[in-house]
Chain A
Amino acid sequence: MVDGSALRAEVRQFVAAEIVPHLPRWEDAGEIPRSLFRELGKRGWLGVGFPTEWGGVGGTWLDTLVVAEELARCEAGGVALAVGVQVAMVGPTLLAFGTPAQKHRYLRGVLRGELIGALAITEPEAGSDVAAIRTTARRVEAGWVLNGTKMFITNGCRADFVIVVARTGQASGYQGLSLFIVDRETPGFAVGKKLAKVGMRSSDTAELVFTDCLVPAESLLGQEGQGFYHIMWELQGERLFGGAMAAASALWILERLWEHARACSRANVEPWLGRLAESFAAALACRELVYDTTRRILRQEYPVTEVSAIKLLAGRVQWQAAELALEFMSAHGCPAAWAERMWRDSRLTRIGGGTDEIMRNIIFRQLREAVGAHRAAAGVSR
């Protein structure tokens, strides 16, 4: 049982004392230190929502969201992103599809912060179009041989292992994709380059190259040929977690603005109050949608429309808040490092984890199906 209120207070205090003061250094270095993963793991915060059997501390996704929301208040999207990959992408994928041996070997380390994981889906020629993945995994007597290149991989520069999506069958499109766990030291695996980004600088991003990279048969994660469906499942959690972080980040930005506004005279801030309220309302609505959708997931529902809507909305409200902050702080003669950083960082939310346009595609398809089902139920022919 996790005490959400105590957890929130503890993480908030830790973020203020142990993360925020170091941000300028981490942003310059282009990564957060390994020690931060270990410290978060030691405190049990990477394991919130994971079963104790595999090193988690129990609780549900609602508790995980508390950690997400508080990490999002750390003034730099990069820190939240690096930890988010570990908690919301790598961990859940291992838990859902891993064998007991894989969970023992990788999941425990991930939740303790002793291992850093990454998830490699995107390729230079396969961004939104997951079905266009070209990386292959060819079955050989000793296991599988991987060849291909992965792009924009968060935590990729120093991950101890990477979960890789590769094509294992002859079928094209969504069929014939599988997941593999590749250890960092595996011959044939290399970091092609560390990518320089406009924001999210305290999180490292890599191009990864697999050249005749031989992995043992037990590296296969989940069912052979079901990789696409595994990833689609994983993306729901990633988008929900990312959306929770973005909405919380927006609310944190607005809270900072509110504090600044309260320190100014009413006359000076009056012209800004309407925009502040509009941003606040939009961010609150998004946060409520996150909570409501999470509760539905805990009731074993699979609300794809809402998760996609969260991703779309959260990117928008975070960006809206960051825009307002940049303008407000500048207009009041106090340009702030946090405001310019959040402006750069928040732009990624509308791109990573599925672009806004992909979210709209998904939402429309779901709407169309819902309308079709409704008509069928009502006995109305198309």
Chain B
Amino acid sequence: MTEELELLRRNVRSFLEREVVPRLEGWERNGIPREALRELVGLGYLFPEAEGVTERSEEAAWWAVVAEELGRAGAGSLAAMVESHISAVWLLAAAGETVERARYLAGERLLTWPWDAGPVRLEEQDSRRYVEGLAGTVVASADEALVAVTTEAGKRLVLVPLEDPALRLLPVPGVGLAAASLRRLECAGAGFREPELPGCGDVGGHLREGLARRRLWLAWLLVGLGDWCLRQAFAYVAARQQFGRAVMQFQALQHRLADVAVGLLAARQMANLAVKKWGTTEDLLAGTLALVVAGQAAFLAADEAVQFHGGYGYMLEYPVQRTWRDVRQLTLLVGGPVGLAREAGQQLYSSPRFCLAPLGEE
């Protein structure tokens, strides 16, 4: 890791420990205030370009550090909100948006890019233009949702204001990410505005890239969350006494802790590969596979952490159950373990060669 990235890691970690970790439990009960999200976004840590990093390999490593640290702090809900904003900002930037860019980077205007939006189309009636078919999970405290719409000329990006009366923001009956103000967005004829993009070309390529970026970022978040769970579990089994000794001394637990650690090691490697592949034709496949592995490893870590806490793991008083739920919810947001693996398999199937080459062949 470069000196710059190490400094970034130290800074982000220090900020999260100081400003975020003490507030997590309160947020879990009352939701994360918009101001907290704006404050974090405004710090500039989230955007490598704001710090002058423009090389592709460097920006991916930057995202990895930030996402992992958010996970290591156990801040799943905050991370989900952050991710939705920065993915939207990245996508707009990739498409050439510059007019409002500074406001997005400063957190003055918050965006959300739905994780699971289906195809959306533009309609026009009585000279009024609106979006139809929009449905997806968004961060309700954002100002606008970034939506890709299908037109005859290809994919275009539009911004849908979340306060539009034609939108319905329904509660998400999810198991986790309770503090992230996630809502199921549905609309019947909502208005929109078009960001100022140079040219009116198809943004399909940017969308694909944006998805690869999103998956890389979330894979690192899950690696971090898994690491948080492992540390929580370790601390608990070292302190908890049963049968006259620390429960850590029982081999039945030791081997399972080892399995959790190994799963996370593997996930970290796969997420690293996604960083290395960023900006290549294989970045989406690598990002998807990284998310598959990270999702499995993080959930194993979270589930075992709950189990190792025994009855206390089931109590809201202990934060381990929060991350357990957050990890599951995160994996569901991006398609679920089965759906994501199937999608990766479809990408593999469609690939002209059996790819992601070995040593010396990259």
The residues of A with any CB-CB pair to B shorter than 8 Å are 4-5, 8, 62, 65-66, 69, 248, 251, 254-255, 258-259, 261-262, 266, 269, 272-278, 280-282, 284-289, 291-292, 305-306, 309, 312-313, 357, 359-361, 363-364, 367-368, 371, 382
Contact = CB atoms under 8 A, between A and B. Distances in A.
B337 to A, nearest CB: 9
Given A66-B359, A261-B349, A285-B269, A278 B341 contact: yes
Contact of A285 (B266, B348, B354, B361): B266
Contact of B258 (A66, A254, A285, A360): A360
Contacts of B255: 357, 360-361, 364
A142 to B, nearest CB: 46
Contact of A284 (B238, B254, B289, B338): B289
Contacts of A278: 292, 296, 341, 344
Interface in B273-321: 273, 288-290, 292-293, 296
A255 B262 contact: no
A291 B359 contact: yes
Given A255-B354, A277-B348, A282-B293, A289 B265 contact: yes
Grouping DSSP codes into helix (H, G, I), strand (E, B) and loop, the B interface class, with mixed when no group exceeds half, is helix
Contacts of B323: none
B200 interface: no
Contact of B234 (A69, A280, A360, A367): A367
A277 B296 CA distance: 13
Contact of A367 (B261, B266, B270, B290): B261
Interface of B: 231, 234, 238, 248, 251, 254-255, 257-259, 261-262, 265-267, 269-270, 272-273, 288-290, 292-293, 296, 338, 341-349, 354, 356, 358-361
A73 to B, nearest CB: 11
Contact of A277 (B254, B257, B272, B341): B341
A66 B259 CA distance: 28
B358 A5 contact: no
28 contacts: A8-B360, A66-B360, A255-B354, A274-B345, A276-B349, A277-B289, A277-B344, A277-B345, A278-B341, A281-B293, A281-B344, A282-B266, A285-B269, A285-B270, A285-B293, A286-B266, A288-B269, A292-B269, A309-B261, A312-B258, A313-B266, A357-B255, A363-B261, A364-B255, A364-B257, A367-B257, A368-B248, A382-B238
A282 B300 CA distance: 15
A269 B349 contact: yes
Contacts of A280: 289, 344, 348
A5 B358 CA distance: 10
Nearest to B246: A382
Contacts of A8: 358, 360-361
B348 to A, nearest CB: 6
Contact of A364 (B254, B288, B358): B254
Contacts of B344: 273-274, 277-278, 280-281
Contacts of A313: 262, 265-266
Contacts of A291: 359
Contacts of B341: 273-275, 277-278, 281
B356 A284 contact: yes
B347 to A, nearest CB: 8
Given A258-B354, A278-B292, A285-B293, A273 B359 contact: no
Contacts of A284: 270, 273, 289, 356
A5 B359 CA distance: 8
A277 B251 CA distance: 32
Contacts of A274: 338, 341-342, 344-345
Given A285-B269, A363-B258, A363-B261, A273 B238 contact: no
A282 B258 CA distance: 17
Given A280-B289, A367-B234, A5 B360 contact: yes
Contacts of A273: 341-342, 344-346, 348-349
